[in-house]
Structure 1
Amino acid sequence: MYWTYLRRELAGRKKQTIIVAVGLAVAIALVIVVNALSAGVRDAQAQALESVYGVGTDLTVTGAAAEPGEGGGQRFEFDSEAGQTEDGTTSVSQSRLTADFMRGTLGASTVESVASLDGVAAASGALSLTNITFSGEMPDRSQMQQGGPGESGEPPSGGPDGAGGSAFDLNSFTVLGIDPDDTAVGPLSAVEVSEGRALTADDAGELVAVMDATYATTNEIAIGDTIDVGGSDVEVVGIITSTSSDADTAANVYIPLDVAQSLAGLEDVVSTVYVQAISADQIEAVQAEIEGSVADVTVSSQSDLASTVSSSLSSASSLITNLGTWLSILVLAVALALAVLFTISGVTRRTREFGTLKAIGWSNGRVVGQVAGESVIQGLIGGAIGLAIGLAGIGIINLISPTISSTSSTTGQGGPGQGGGPMGGGFGGMAQQTATDVVLHAPVTLWVVAAAVGIAIAGGLIAGAFGGWRAARLSPAEALRSVG
């Protein structure tokens, strides 16, 4: 009888049911979309930072910035016998493998010191370098000084375009020296081998490398080819890609750490120490311990680096967090208020009905149950509509796949993207800004669906509680006299 009566009452008050259900539906749909977008932005930020840290990396330790005037830019010196001369033109080429002169290096012993600290599960060192190749053509200076037969030291016709001038190119790529026996922490923990093989412990001291897939494709380099790294021929044994489709690897080329140190003339040093804490709740304590025990270093966590991510990614995050959340709360509050007002108004119009029901023996509890049941059904109808609208909205967002750009500073901390290793880099070692385009996906989670159902039920119960309270206060005799 209860369900029959409930169904008839809802059918007889279609206008009220539609208004209450639609109000809750709009609020629930907005909550679903806002929460999905918020989760999507968090995922986008994680993708932007993923290649910097790698899976399982909690902290990075880098050397302190060098004082202005220390170090210097790259110098390429050629003696009188350098290059090859042909047809009055001398071709020269030289490669240098250097660290960022704007950032100090760390002693290799720092890795062991950090690994021995309480709360540290693992630590791995890496040396971030930039390989710069200077190449070009210039007139044969010996002919310019001595002149040829019948000539008086006039410039030869060699050189680019036969004009007797010079032309030079500077090409660079980032190189990361890593410990091939310890890749569970750091950038290589966030990559997968697409061709060839990865570096292994047996590669220590060998002139071998693995290369980022994008860089290899752009420069038409394949497995088995050799590349010039610091003036030495290094064989490419593997091609790697990021495990995330929306993030790049941390460097263009990876070689064994001892080989990187030797080619760069930087024995027993690293530029970055990647650290994994025993548990997430110990990250801050480990960070403080490293800062207190190791001098002249910068210790960064993922949350620290997240503050450097800017552009539309941070704008979207701020918009959703502030405007979206408050708008959802406001709409939800309005929907609940409408549900309560319509329920109370409906109870007032049904004064004679409830007076009659009480007169024939209905208890206050049964009357309250009847009103609450009607409100909960209205809420569930609104929840179902809101869930459908919310899922449709998420589907549209994922179909459009909007792109969010993020910009990260790579000086001393690394960053995603080609040409920006874990220590920055680039010619002259200047700070770099790395832009990454991330496709925004709004994920659907079970808790969002559960929240939609919960809001619908809660809205119905709140409206039913106020309406039932109003109905329970009615006296049968007074109710019948009021409509006399």
Structure 2
Amino acid sequence: MFGIYLKRELGRRKKAALVIALGLALGIALVITVDSVSAGMAQAQDKVLKSLYGLGTDMTVTKARTAPAAGGSGRPDFSFDAKSGGSSTQSSDRVTTQGGQTLKSALVTEIAAEKGVASAVGALSLNVTKVDGSFTQGTAKSSGGSTGGPGGGTGSTGRPQVQGGGADFDVNSYSVVGVDVAHQSLGPLSAMKITSGRTFTSAQTGAKAAVVSASYAKEKKYKVGSTFEVSGTKVTVIGVATPDSGESDTDVFVPLKVAQTLGDAKNQVTTVYVKATDSQRISAVKKAITADVPGTTVTTSADLASTVSGSLSTASDLATSVGTWLSVAVLAAAFLVAALLTSSAVSRRVREFGTLKALGWPSRNVTRQVVGESMVNGLIGGALGIALGVGAAWAVTAISPKLTAQLGSTGGAGGMGGGPGGGGLGQQASRNTMEIALSAPVSLTTIALAVGLAVTGGLIAGAMGGWRASRMRPADALRSVS
């Protein structure tokens, strides 16, 4: 009986039901769109951070670089001697550590033993400045004529002048990172994908081998099997890698022991990459490491995320603030309109409900009738809203608008930890601009939220209309008869 009556009444009031359903649908669709775009923003930000931070990395541990000693500039210096005759080709490499002060390798084991730490690996960031070229020695020639000298002699008044000669040098600077080849799933190399050749094996701890970034390989015309020298050490390219997103800040990856030899930093690292056992324990692990290893800077991905700027950050702020409040406002308005329309419809059904009560319907049955109709309207609105919201999210993904992301420094040297390529994640990131394609993934949680909103909207509208209908008396139906 209830179902038949419900179906008949909804059929009689199709327009009113459709208006209520559409109002709820628009609010629900906007919520789905904003939620999906926000999820896309979060994914885009994760891509930015992972390309610099390393997949699976929760935090890094570094130590800020101290100021240069008195009288020292801290700048690289090169010494060349011009040899006599012809030209002299000379080359010199200056290898320096980057990313703050170096830390003892034993610290990696100490951090890995901290409660809440799943694993920890060390990496050594180096910068190689290579200067090569040649000197060409000039020739000294005298100029000028002769004049009468003392005693009637003649002498040359012109001074010797050097003609020709000079120097022609090229300066090339690139970054080298030493990685723990036995634990490549954590650290700087984990954010790279091998596109040619292979990566290191766990046995290549001391191998004179290198994995180079695709951009650096293209610049230097390197390929698998190519060789080059780093501070007198001949290295063979075994693989070419491309970052998962953006551009790589590291040009060359070598085994950690090789990097320590090149940088004269035996048993030292510049960065410790840490993975927590649980994402909920990252904050506690950070506090523990900071307390147990004084003088170090512990940087989490959340700290780095706060430095993201550019259109990605702007769009994210709009989606999370303006978009959220707009969704709430529209949804609240949709609920209110649905409740008012339902209440208004009840007021026009005085004779109907009054007659039903006169025939013996209790108030709870009348209320159940109104709530049932509102629930159906809410579910119809929910279905329409899900369709509209998913369609809008699909359109955003299909268009894939491009967003730029820049990572700026948060302050002092090493303040953000030593990232790939050295210089600290914050400092290195200040030079890195990435372009990310925005997507709007719709999760099952979002769909469940939409269904919940549809049911809530139906209940609110039904509660208001049902309350008003339950207060009607049979006498109201008689007074409404003309």
Instruction: Decide: shared fold, TM above 0.5.
Output: yes
Q: Relative to structure 1, is the Cα distance of residues 432 and 371 closer, same or farther in structure 2, using a 3 angstrom cutoff?
A: closer
Q: Which residue of 2 is the match for residue 110 of structure 1?
A: 107
* 1:272 to 1:187, Cα distance in 2 relative to 1, 3 A: same
Deviations 1:388-408 (A, max 9, x none): 211121122112211221211
The aligned counterpart of 1:198 is 199
| Displacement of 1:373 | 1.7
Change (3 A) 1:354 1:180: same
Supply the AA of the counterpart residue of 1:468.
Answer: G
- AA at the equivalent of 1:116: A
Aligned to 1:73: 75
Relative to 1, partners in 2 of residues 1:400 and 1:144: Cα closer, same or farther, differing over 3 Å? farther
Larger radius of gyration: 2
Matched, 1:239 2:247: no
The reply on whether 1:387 has 2:386 as its aligned counterpart is: yes
Deviation at 1:39, TM superposition (A): 0.6
2:120 counterpart residue number: 123
Q: Is the 8 A contact 2:39 2:440 kept in 1?
A: yes
Q: What residue identity is the alignment partner of 1:155?
A: Q
| Aligned equivalent of 2:175 | 174
Q: Could you tell me the TM-score, scaled by structure 2's length?
A: 0.88
Match runs of 1:31-430 below 5 Å? 31-67=31-67, 72-81=74-83, 88-100=86-98, 103-138=100-135, 140-141=136-137, 143-144=138-139, 154-156=162-164, 166-242=167-243, 244=244, 246-249=245-248, 251-409=250-408, 412=414, 413=416, 421-424=421-424
Q: Show CA shifts across 1:324-347 (max 9, x none).
A: 011101001111111111111110
Q: How much does 1:81 deviate? A: 4.1
Residues 174, 252 of structure 1: 8 Å contact kept: yes
Tell me the TM-score normalised to structure 1 length: 0.88
Aligned-partner Cα distance in 2 for 1:363–1:277 = 61
Alignment deviations for residues 30-89 of structure 1 (CA, whole Å, 9 cap, x no partner)? 10110011111111111111133323322211112322556611112112349xx8xx55
Label 1:306 to 1:293 Cα distance change in 2 as closer, same or farther (>3 A): same
Find the aligned partners of 1:129 and 1:440 in 2 and give their Cα distance: 34
Q: Residue 451 of structure 1: CA displacement? A: 1.5
Distance 2:429 2:5 in 1: 74
Q: Does residue 1:479 correspond to 2:468, yes or no?
A: no
Unaligned regions of 5+ residues in structure 2, if any? 143-159
Question: Equivalents in 2 of 1:128, 1:457: separation in Å?
Answer: 56
Amino acid at match of 2:133: G
Q: Which residue matches 1:22?
A: 22
With 174-183 and 211-220 compared, the bigger mean Cα shift is at: 211-220
Aligned residue type for 2:81: D
Aligned partners of 1:355 and 1:422: how far apart in 2? Answer: 80
For residue 440 of structure 2, what is the aligned residue in structure 1?
Answer: 442
SS of residue matched to 2:275: strand
Provide the residue aligned with 1:159 in structure 2: none
For the residue of structure 2 that corresponds to 1:201, the secondary structure is coil
For structure 1, the residue ranges without an aligned partner over 5 or more in a row are 157-163
Q: For 1:152-197, what per-residue CA distance to the aligned partner results, in whole angstroms no more than 9, with x for missing partners?
A: 65423xxxxxxx5544322222110112122232122333333222
Query: Is the CA contact 2:351–2:476 (under 8 Å) kept in the aligned structure 1?
Result: no
Amino acid at match of 2:362: S
Identity among equivalent positions (%) equals: 44
- For the residue of structure 1 that corresponds to 2:207, the secondary structure is coil
User: C-alpha separation between the residues in 1 aligned to 2:372 and 2:113?
Assistant: 63
Cα distance in 2 between the residues matched to 1:479 and 1:145: 123
What is the alpha-carbon distance in structure 2 between the residues aligned to residue 423 and residue 109 of structure 1? 22
Distance 1:330 1:119 in 2: 42
1:398 to 1:431, Cα distance in 2 relative to 1, 3 A:
closer
Distance change in 2, residues 1:236/1:230 (3 Å): same
Alignment partners' CA distance in 2, 1:41 and 1:329: 19
* Per-residue deviation, 1:12: 2.4
Q: Which residue in 1 is equivalent to 2:457?
A: 459
Report the secondary structure of 1:345's partner residue.
helix
Q: CA deviation at 1:236?
A: 0.6
Structure 1 residues 145, 176: closer, same or farther in 2, change over 3 A?
farther
Question: Against the structure 1 CA distance between its residues 213 and 89, is the aligned structure 2 distance closer, same or farther, given a 3 Å change threshold?
Answer: same
Shift of 1:306: 1.2
Counterparts in 2 of 1:450 and 1:370: CA distance versus 1, 3 Å: same
Q: Deviations over 1:355-384 (max 9, x none)?
A: 112222323222222211211122222222
| Backbone CA RMSD of aligned residues | 2.7
Q: Give the secondary-structure state (helix, strand or coil) at the position aligned to 1:441.
A: coil
Q: Quick one: distance in 1 between partners of 2:61 and 2:29?
A: 44
Kept after mapping to 2: 8 A contact 1:51/1:415: no
Alpha-carbon distance in structure 1 between the residues aligned to 2:277 and 2:383: 44
Structure 1 contact 272–423 (Cα < 8 Å) conserved: no
